[in-house]
Amino acid sequence: MIKRKPSLTHARPTGSDGGGNRLWLYGDHAVRAALANPRRTAHRLMVAGEVPSPLPPGLTAQKARREELDSLLPRGAVHQGIALQASRLPRQDIEVLLDLPADRPAIAVMLDQVTDPHNVGAVMRSAAAFGAAGVIVQDRHAPEETGALAKAASGALETVPLLRTGNLSRALDELKEAGWWAVGLDQDATMTIEQARDRERVVLVLGAEGAGMRRLVREHCDLIAAIPMAPSNVSSLNVSNAAAIALYVFASGARVAKD
């Protein structure tokens, strides 16, 4: 059997996204993960180098120069010579977490007013690395699905559900009723994340850098815990770094509990 190579056509890019439900994804990991995601509809693939394989049925690759991709994408986008116009993913909410089997240990992350798409993407990348079941954000005060977010997530946007809710406090109440523990992260807490990790179902709640969690969100947490840090002039961590550390600690605890 002869394996066919992905076909190439030449076309000059335009700035149009073809509709409000479409966006441009760019970067090798983000594009390859999107092409492999059956929930993602791909419309147009432009490459300046090697063509990914396999491609979804009906999709062909358009050959483009890197300069053409530069003009098509946001200024400064690190596209690595590949861009994909695709439909946005269907909206998902916390039902994804509520529908998990009751006996399954799980971890999720909730971000309270974290507005930088690079930070949200980096949190999703860590969530994928440590097997988190989802990342929860509010409809408002959170970035939309964008190429920048997908690039920072390095493919995790296609594998970790980005769950949106109108009210974070109400979402925490629903999760707690379903057996989840809500652990808020705050560097001023007296409890450490190691002391708080002995739960099989945990949603880690992180606030925006500087402002931290809002009062109502904090009040809906079961526990408030801190990441132990050595005495220094560094008083806090970037939210994505804090999420990565906490996910590692709680994922280790979940594995112990499961074993």
- Kindly give the confidence (pLDDT) of every residue in the chain, 259 residues in length, as a single tens digit, with 9 standing for 90 and above: 334 344 333 333 333 344 479 999 999 999 999 999 999 999 999 999 888 888 999 999 999 999 999 998 998 899 999 999 999 999 999 999 999 998 889 999 999 999 999 999 999 999 999 999 999 999 988 999 999 999 999 999 999 999 999 999 999 999 999 999 999 999 889 999 999 988 899 999 999 877 789 999 999 999 999 998 877 666 678 999 999 999 999 998 654 344 4
Whether residue 151 contacts residue 30, with contact meaning beta carbons closer than 8 Å, is answered with yes
CA distances from 222 to 32, 115, 120 (A): 39, 25, 24
Question: What is d(CA 35, CA 14) in angstroms, rounded to the nearest whole number?
Answer: 21
Q: What is the residue whose two structure tokens read 């979940």?
A: 254
Question: What is d(CA 18, CA 72) in angstroms, rounded to the nearest whole number?
Answer: 13
Q: Classify domain 8-87 at the CATH class level.
A: alpha beta
Chain centroid offset of residue 126 CA: 8
Q: Provide the pLDDT for residue 179.
A: 94
**Closest to 108 (Cα-Cα) out of 230, 202, 31:** 202
Dihedral class, residue 139 (left if φ above 0, else alpha if ψ from -120 to 50, else beta) = alpha
Give me 201's structure tokens.
């179902």
CA distances from 257 to 103, 175, 253 (A): 11, 20, 6
Can you identify the CATH homologous superfamily of domain 95-258?
SPOUT methyltransferase, trefoil knot domain (3.40.1280.10)
Tell me if residue 75 falls in helix, strand or coil: coil
User: CATH 3.40.1280.10 residue ranges in the chain?
Assistant: 95-258
User: CATH 3.30.1330 residue ranges in the chain?
Assistant: 8-87
